Amino acid sequence: MKGFQSSAETSDVAPIVVNIGSAVKSAREAARYSLEDLAVTCGLTVGEIVQIEQGEDTDPARVKRVSIALKI
């Protein structure tokens, strides 16, 4: 079927998303940004930052904004 992904293909994506979220959280903590500080800096809500850090939000535009703010 066109567009169909096997469970093996979709399960490979999850670790990447979690790693991005972990990297964002580690970079935020290393920069000594609170969630609120980072949210204000990149124009997102605290909830959106939390979702990125937990691997729940993978929107490239939001992840890019956070990455630019954290210089990663």
Model confidence, pTM:
0.75
Instruction: Give the pLDDT confidence of 23-48 residue by residue, as tens digits.
Output: 999 999 999 999 999 999 999 999 99
Averaged pLDDT for residues 59-63: 96
Domain that holds residue 60: 14-70
Task: Kindly tell me if the per-residue pLDDT of 52 is higher than 90.
Answer: yes
CATH (domain of 53): 1.10.260.40
Q: What is the DSSP letter of 57?
A: -
Residue 56 DSSP symbol:
S
Res 17 pLDDT > 90: no
Q: Are 42 and 69 contacting, i.e. CB atoms less than 8 angstroms apart? A: yes
* pLDDT bracket for residue 1 (50, 70, 90): very low
DSSP E strands in 4-68: the ranges are: none
Residue 2 domain flag: no
